[in-house]
Amino acid sequence: MATATAERDVARGASSARTIMVVEDDPGMRAVLRDVLTHEGFQVHEEPGPERVTAAVERVRPRAIVLDKEMPGSNGTELLVTLGRRHPGIPVLVITAFGGSATRAEVIRAGAAGYLEKPFRMAMLLDTLRAITDTRATAIGAPDA
């Protein structure tokens, strides 16, 4: 569910500089992420699974994506690679409950801009998102939001 403001901005062709897309199958976790990000001033677009993510990215044009690596019927790493090919300027933060050093290495090699293992502190999520979006803004000349 994208916010009305984000939808209006995208309809006018503007980039949604404060929009974070959350791709998470667990409704409770998705709600927590939405609440924390909204409280911090981000607009949030939610996707409950990988099926419509690439089309949603075209519509929403998020500043960053928070992607759960393990979802039913999906390998988040494959989606990460697809997103990197189609939208190389959008940083992706991978979150997972099934982590470890091998998983971290796998997703970083696949193009993740950041990685967090569940459970994580929301402050760490926010710090990581700020870091990867600031890096993106500097790298492509986008205004800091």
Tens digit of each residue's pLDDT (9 = 90 or more) over 47-74: 999 999 999 999 999 999 999 999 988 8
Confirm whether 49 is domain-assigned: yes
Question: Over 90: is that where the pLDDT of 12 sits?
Answer: no
* CATH number of the CATH domain containing 121: 3.40.50.2300
Report the 3 state secondary structure along 74-115.
EEHHHHHHHHHHHCCCCCEEEEECCCCHHHHHHHHHCCCCEE
Output the pLDDT for position 16.
Answer: 67
Record the tokens describing residue 31, joined without a space.
Answer: 């709600």
Output the pLDDT for position 84.
Answer: 96
Confirm whether 142 is domain-assigned: no
Give how many domains the chain has, as a whole number. Answer: 1
Tens digit of each residue's pLDDT (9 = 90 or more) over 89-129: 999 999 999 989 999 999 999 999 999 999 999 999 999 99
pLDDT mean over 16-25: 91
Question: Over 90: is that where the pLDDT of 139 sits?
Answer: no
Confirm whether 143 is domain-assigned: no
This prediction has a pTM of 0.83
Residue with tokens 């939208």: 87
Confirm whether 144 is domain-assigned: no
Q: Please report, as a single letter, which amino acid is at residue 132.
A: I
